[in-house]
Structure 1
Amino acid sequence: MEVMKTPRSVDLSITHHCNLRCKYCSHFTSAGDVNQDLPREEWIRFLGELNDCAVMEVCLSGGEPFLRRDLRDLIKAIIRNRMRFRILSNGTLITDEMASFLASTRRCNGVQVSIDGSIPTTHDACRGEGNFLKAIQGIQHLLRYHLPATVRVTIHKHNVRDLEGIAQLLLEEIGLPQFSTNSASYMGLCRQNAEQVMLTPEERSFAMKVLLRLTQKYNGRIGANAGPLAEARSWLEMERARSGGRGPIPGRGFLTGCNGPMSKIAVRADGVMVPCDQMGHMELGRINHDDLREVWQNHPELNRLRERRNIALSDFKFCQGCDYTSYCTGNCPAIAYTLYGEENHPSPDSCLRRFLEAGGSLPDGE
C-alpha cells in the first residue's frame, strides 16, 4: 500500500472527558493522556486546513464526543469544509433531537455505538449500571431517523458466553444490517483490570468457534478488524499455509499488520497530532502551529512507522524458530509499544504460536 499525498481521513478526539469509565478503556491511564480540550475556534480553524488537504472524512471521538456542548458547531464546520463525518460513542447521550440534527446534515457516514451484552447485567458489568438501556435507546433514536447506526462489541470475560444472545439482539431484534467485534487489549484501564476483563486462551478459542458459527448463521453480517473473529480468520489461513507446506504469503513475514499511517492520522483532545488514537505518546506536532501536509509527508517518526513494513519478522529473537513467521504480520504497533516500549516489534497479543503454547486451540474453520 502506497502512502497517500495527504491523509484520506482524520480521527479527532474532540474531548478527553467521558461520562463512563469502562474497565477496558484504552483512552484513560495511557501514555499521552491529556486533560485539556481544545476550544471550538481551534478545531474549526483546523477543519479548514483539512479541507485544503482534500481530507474526505473526519471521525469524531473522545472521551465521549456527545459531551461537547458545541458539537453541532463542529459538525457544521465539517460540512462547510466539504467533508463527511463519523462518530464513535458509548451511545448513552444520544437524544432524539441530536439524532434528528445528524440526519438533517446528510453528511453522516455512521454513528458507532458500543454494546457489550444482550442484557443489562452483561453490558453494565464493564460499563456501569444503567448504561445498557441508555445505549439501546441511543441506537433506536439513530434508527428512527434512518441514520447508519453501527455497533462495536468488545469481547471480554463478562460477555464471552453471551455472544449468541448479542447477535440475536442486534441482528434480529433491533434489526441492524451488521455489527463488528474486537476484544479488550492490554492498554489503558485494561492494564489494571486485566484479570477481570481479558480473555484466557481457552476463552479466546471458545469465542473464535462461536463467532465463526454465528457468521455463517447470519450470512457474514458479523465483522472484525481485531479480536477473536479476526484472529480466527487470519490464524486459520496461517495454519492452512503451514500444514500445506505453502510458501510465504504475499505481504506477510514482515511488520505489515498496521496500514493506518499510510492513509490516516489522529489528533488528541489538546490538539497534538499523533499517528493514531492508540499511540498518544508519539507527538508529531500541534494543529494550527505545525503544517499538516508537512507533518504527514516528512515527520521522521511517522515515516519510521511506515518503514516498519520492511522489517522482517525473522530479524526478531521473539519470532525465531516459529513455523508461522512467513505467514504473520506482527500486528498492532500500539500494543507492542505498551508491552515493550517499542513500536517496531511484533505484538505478543496476536502471536499464534504463543496462543497455542498457552493452551489455546484453533476452530475447525469457516
Structure 2
Amino acid sequence: MNSAIRTGLVVGKFWPPHWGHQLLLETAAAQVAELVVLVYANPDSARHPAAVRAEWLRALYRGDELADGPCIGATPLRVFALSAAADGVPPDAADDHTQREFVKQWLARQGMQVDVVFSSEAYGPGFAAHLGVAHVEVDAARALVPVSGTLARANPAAAARYLHPLVAAQLGAVPPAPVPRVVLLGAESSGKSTLCEALAQACGTAWVPEYGRTLHEQKNGNLDFDDLLYIARRHAELEDEAAERARGVLFCDTNAATTALYSYYYFHRCDPALQAMAAVCGQRYAHTFVCAPTVPFEQDGWRGPEALRSFQHGAILMQLDFYGIPYTLVEGTVTERVAQVRTALGDGLVQR
C-alpha cells in the first residue's frame, strides 16, 4: 500500500456486483488505507435497490468477526447506498458535469476527502479531474473479466460464471462448476460428516466440511444473526475452492438451505440473501442425500439434545419437498451408506 494515499473512491451501480467489480474493489483496496464505495442508480432497481446491493457488498467482504465492519485484506471498506429521494441522485442520463458535481457535493456534505478514484469506465479520468484527485484505471477493456452489469441483468444464467455464488443466487442463477457437487444433509449426529469424508476417500476426491460447525466452535457457540449469511457465503466459497482439486465429483457436508433452517431456529428470521441461496440449492447440487438419524447419538458439547434430531430430520425433508428437490435417504453403517450413495450416483460419476 502507498502510505501517501489515504482514501480511495469507487462509484457505481453494482447492479449486480460481479467479478469485474470485485477486481476493481480489491485492486483499489491494495493501494489505499481506506476505500469508500458509493452505490446508486436512477432509475434504480425495484427488486434489488441500491441499499440491497450495498448489503451484498458488505456481506461479500466481511470476515469471521463483524466488529470492524467489512474489509478487503486489512483495508476498511465503507459502503454507502444513495437514492434519488434521500440524496438527490441525478438521473443516469444526466450529463457528465451533473454526475461529477453530485458526487463532489455529496462528499463535501459528509466531510469526506478522497485522494484517488478507481474506475473501469471511460468516465474515470474526467471524474477524478473534477474532484481534483488522481485516477487509476482497472481492466477498462474487460480483458480480465469480460462481463458488465447490463449483460448480467439481461442474462443472469449466462453471466453466472462471473458472479459470486451469493450474488448469483439473488438472480436465481448458479455459477457453473468444474465437477458435479453432491450434498449430504442430516440432523445433528446423523453421520453426514463421517459419510462425506468416507465417500471422498472411497472415490479419491475432495470433500467440504460444514463451515457452520467451524464458525460455531470458533465463536464458542455464540453465533449472531449476520453469521448465518456469512456461513452460507463462506461455505459456497470453500466448495468452489475444493471443486478445483476434486476428481469427478465433490462431496459437500451441508448446504445453504440447512443454514437457512438454523437461522430460523436460532433467530426466527432469515436474511433474504440467505433465503435466495437456499432456493437455488436444487440447481447447485447434482444429487442430494439425507442421512437417517439412526446412528448412535454422540453429544460432543456443541449439539442440542438427542430429542431434537427427529425434529431436525423432519424439517430437512419438509424443506426439500417445499423446494422440489429430489433426494435419496441413506441408512445403515458407514460402509452400507457409502455403497448406497455410489449405487445411486452410478459408476461413471464416482469411479476412482
**TM-based fold match above 0.5:** no
Larger radius of gyration: 2
Scaled by the length of structure 1, the TM-score of the pair is 0.29
Which one scores higher on RCO, CA 8 angstroms, separation ≥ 6? 1
